[in-house]
């Protein structure tokens, strides 16, 4: 069983790659890094992220790693699949089984590696990132990927910390302790599939995070970005560009005036989609 409403959870802020963004954007970008697309057939990216954080053992069975090169599949002694998708559990087992083959690759200069070897190392890097993310709330691990805690000691607004990293780096505070307790309540609600407690905890986490971050984060902008993620503005913008181009080409052959008018109309919509996406931070 799973919780069914991820709206509040999706809007919780996180610092990632130098930008404060909603968890929804974070989830989409990481899933796309592993799989090549920002959703699974059976769940959205934000649902996948919740599973990774709160039920990691289950997430290890998801087929989220895309390996299109059969040479890489062969090197790992995996079965070939039509969709090229494999789980973290399968890849971890394969990596351990082929350790003696893989280990020397880390010692070789990058320019001496073949393309399959480079892809093997890139895959291993993705596995490490996924493993780090799945251990975000494990106090015994020094996971740094999930930077969800704004700095509280007057430092730069760009200094956010992971649940494990905040203690290691000596940046804990009474407020961050309260904040982490909220995350524990959220995790418990997820595992119990208690939608009421889940939504209540996610809403409190978002509000408390915005309070700690102060002027560095706009709650309205985070909500706007989540909405635009769901509308997939970049895809709509690209479609408008392509349609406008095809209409202009057709205009050289028939009804040039009407075709030009239609093309300009589509470019207008493209400008709208692009500008709104830029405002939201895309």
The number of folded domains in the chain is 2
Judge whether residue 273 has pLDDT over 90.
Answer: no
Which pLDDT belongs to residue 248? 53
Which pLDDT belongs to residue 232? 66
Six token digits for residue 46: 């934000």
Q: What is the pTM of this model?
A: 0.82
Judge whether residue 111 has pLDDT over 50.
Answer: yes
Separation of alpha carbons 145 and 55, rounded Å: 17
Q: What is the DSSP string of 56-98?
A: HHHHTTSEEEE---HHHHHHTTPPP-SS-EEEHHHHHHHHHHT
Which pLDDT belongs to residue 228? 87
> The domain containing residue 22 runs over which residues?
7-230
Same domain assignment for residues 124 and 198: yes
147: phi then psi, degrees, rounded to nearest 5: -90, 85
pLDDT over 90 percentage in the chain: 62
Same domain assignment for residues 181 and 262: no
Same domain assignment for residues 200 and 260: no
Same domain assignment for residues 191 and 225: yes
Separation of alpha carbons 226 and 207, rounded Å: 16
* Beta-sheet strands, E only, within the chain: 13-16, 19-22, 63-66, 85-87, 149-150, 160-161
Judge whether residue 147 has pLDDT over 90.
Answer: yes
Q: Which residue did the predictor score with more confidence, 246 or 105?
A: 105
Which of 134, 156, 163 is CA-nearest to residue 20? 156
Q: Is 192 helix (H, G, I), strand (E, B) or coil?
A: coil
82: phi then psi, degrees, rounded to nearest 5: -60, -40
Same domain assignment for residues 155 and 214: yes
In a domain, 110, yes or no: yes
In a domain, 1, yes or no: no
Burial of 62 (0-12, 13-18, 19+ CB in 10 A): buried
Same domain assignment for residues 125 and 245: no
Judge whether residue 278 has pLDDT over 50.
Answer: no
Q: How many CB atoms lie within 10 A of CB 150?
A: 25
| Mean pLDDT of the chain, nearest integer | 85
Q: Which residue did the predictor score with more confidence, 255 or 209?
A: 209
Which pLDDT belongs to residue 132? 96
């Amino acid at each position: 069983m799973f919780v069914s409403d991820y709206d509040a959870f999706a809007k919780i802020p996180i610092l990632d790659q130098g930008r404060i963004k909603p968890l929804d954007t974070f989830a989409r970008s990481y899933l796309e890094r592993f799989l090549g697309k920002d959703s699974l057939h059976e769940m959205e990216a934000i649902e996948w992220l919740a599973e990774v954080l709160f039920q990691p053992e289950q997430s290890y069975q998801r087929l989220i790693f895309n390996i299109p090169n059969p040479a890489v599949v062969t090197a790992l002694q995996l079965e070939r699949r039509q969709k090229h998708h494999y789980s973290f559990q399968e890849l971890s087992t394969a990596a351990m089984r082929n350790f003696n083959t893989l280990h020397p690759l880390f010692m070789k200069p990058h320019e001496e590696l073949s393309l399959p070897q480079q892809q093997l190392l890139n895959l291993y890097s993705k596995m490490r990132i996924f493993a780090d993310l799945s251990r975000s709330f494990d106090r015994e691990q020094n996971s740094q990927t999930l930077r969800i805690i704004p700095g509280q000691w007057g430092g730069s607004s760009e200094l956010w910390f992971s649940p494990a990293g905040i203690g290691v780096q000596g940046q804990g505070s009474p407020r961050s302790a309260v904040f982490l307790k909220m995350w524990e309540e959220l995790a418990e609600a997820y595992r119990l599939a208690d939608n009421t407690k889940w939504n209540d905890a996610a809403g409190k986490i978002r509000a408390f995070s915005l309070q700690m971050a102060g002027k560095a984060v706009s709650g309205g902008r985070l909500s706007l970005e989540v909405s635009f993620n769901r509308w997939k503005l970049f895809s709509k913008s690209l479609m408008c560009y392509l349609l406008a181009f095809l209409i202009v080409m057709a205009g050289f052959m028939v009804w040039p005036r009407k075709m030009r008018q239609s093309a300009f109309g589509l470019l207008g919509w493209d400008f709208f989609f692009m500008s709104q996406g830029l405002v939201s931070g895309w």
